[in-house]
Structure 1
Amino acid sequence: MAKKLSVTPRKQALQARSRETVDVILEATARILVKEGYDRTSTNKIARAAGVSIGSLYQYFPGKEALVAAVITKHTDELLELIAGTALRVAQLPLAVATRELVRVMIEAHAIAPKLHRVLTEQTPRVGRLAYMEKIDDEAIRLVRAYLEMHRDELCVEDLDLASFMAVTTVEALTHAAVLRQPELLAQPHFVDEVTTMVLRYLSLPDGKPRKRARLSA
């Protein structure tokens, strides 16, 4: 029977110095993952890159899998905080302005470290953090749903649950595809413009008329 991998830290860093040590270790883990890939990453390489002893590393993490899981958690939390802050900031802005800002932030968040995001996405199932990374989409959908509720008079869609799912999934799918296949797009303003236009054309129509429902053939 295959040995069950441990992805839970051995202990939490409570003191400031301990938290600094853990942060350094996690930053080193991210660098090694990008440089070497998951399979060639090892705790020894991470310890050397972090400038700590292997014993210090093992005080907090039982192995490579726990380190990668911690990097995924940290990366996800940072994205969640960024998206939540942006949603709060644009809550009262018109639909076109708010949509572009949310799209821009989601794309730029992935552009901060596209290689790391790619590695973490590829390795998430291996360390059992898929559900945790899905929190990004879930939270984004919840926040967009709340925004749309406040701006119903600007919309041509009726089902806000579906609309928020469609909008967020569209942005995430296009951004993820850019990360994997054309990362240079992430730094180009017209990519933000085109994705924003696509979302706005779904949520609202230029003439302000209600969207016509498709009729099923008899």
Structure 2
Amino acid sequence: MARKPVIRPRKLATQQRSRATVDSLVEATARILVREGFDKASTNRIADVAGVSIGSLYQYFPGKEALVAAVIERHQEEIMQVVRSELAQAAALPVDEAMRKFVAVALEAHRLDPPLHRVLAEQIPRVGKLEKLDVFSRENFTLFKAYLEKVRGELGVDDLELASFVCVTTIEALTHNAVLHQSKMLTDDQMEALTDEGARLVTRYLKG
């Protein structure tokens, strides 16, 4: 049986100097993942790029899987900062406008450092199940369901939990594939059209 990778840090950095060391290691890991790939991201290579001793690396992280997990966590938090601030504006919008906002925000979030987003999407299965990703998914689901509950009277669906799952999954798949796999084909005008079409898709589903 394959060894399950350890993805939790050994200890948390609390002082400014130690936080700077951890930040350097996480940033170096992200750069290596984008430029060289997961297999080249050895702990020695990460420590070298970060300008940190290998001993200091192991003081905070048990291995490269934990460092990749830290990169994923940081990237997901950056995405959620965009999502939270933007979707707060959707609460007072009618369904068709709110769905456009949801799709537009998802596109914007995926366009935060697409090369890193792409490599992390590929490496997540190799790192293992990450609790932070579950939290990220649940928060998106919760935000969407809270909106549907406010506009329940305008909807043609009864099961809001199921409807939230269908819509969030659809929007995520649509925007993820558009930005990461079709970005060279999509102009700004096409992005606008994609936003309109994605919004129309989920709006028609919700209104029945």
TM (normalized to structure 1)?
0.83
Q: Which runs of 5+ in 1 are unaligned?
A: 205-210, 212-218
After alignment, is 103-112 or 77-86 more displaced?
A: 77-86
Query: Is contact 1:179–1:186 with CA below 8 Å preserved after alignment?
Result: no
After alignment, is 64-73 or 50-59 more displaced?
A: 50-59
Partner of 1:29: 29
Q: Which runs of 5+ in 2 are unaligned?
A: none
Residues 1:196 and 2:199 are matched in the alignment: yes
Per the alignment, do residues 4 and 198 of structure 1 end up closer, same or farther by CA in structure 2, a change over 3 Å counting? closer
Query: Is contact 2:4–2:128 with CA below 8 Å preserved after alignment?
Result: no
Give, in whole Å, the separation in 1 of the partners of 2:8 and 2:170: 33
Amino acid at match of 1:203: L
Query: Is contact 1:69–1:129 with CA below 8 Å preserved after alignment?
Result: no
Give, in whole Å, the separation in 2 of the partners of 1:181 and 1:175: 10
Cα shift at 1:27: 1.4
Give, in whole Å, the separation in 1 of the partners of 2:152 and 2:187: 30
Aligned pairs for 1:32-181 within 5 A: 32-181=32-181
Give, in whole Å, the separation in 1 of the partners of 2:41 and 2:155: 49
Cα shift at 1:128: 2.0
Cα shift at 1:166: 1.2
**Could you say which structure has the larger radius of gyration?**
1
Cα shift at 1:21: 2.2
SS at match of 1:44: helix
Amino acid at match of 1:65: E
Q: Identity over the aligned pairs, expressed in percent?
A: 55
Per the alignment, do residues 78 and 121 of structure 1 end up closer, same or farther by CA in structure 2, a change over 3 Å counting? same
Amino acid at match of 1:193: D
- The alignment's C-alpha RMSD in Å is 2.2
Cα shift at 1:18: 1.8
Give, in whole Å, the separation in 1 of the partners of 2:195 and 2:11: 41
Cα shift at 1:11: 1.3
Q: Which has the higher helix share?
A: 2
SS at match of 1:10: coil
Work out the number of aligned pairs and report it. 205
String of CA shifts for 1:107-142, please: whole Å, max 9, x gaps: 111111222122212221222234532333322122
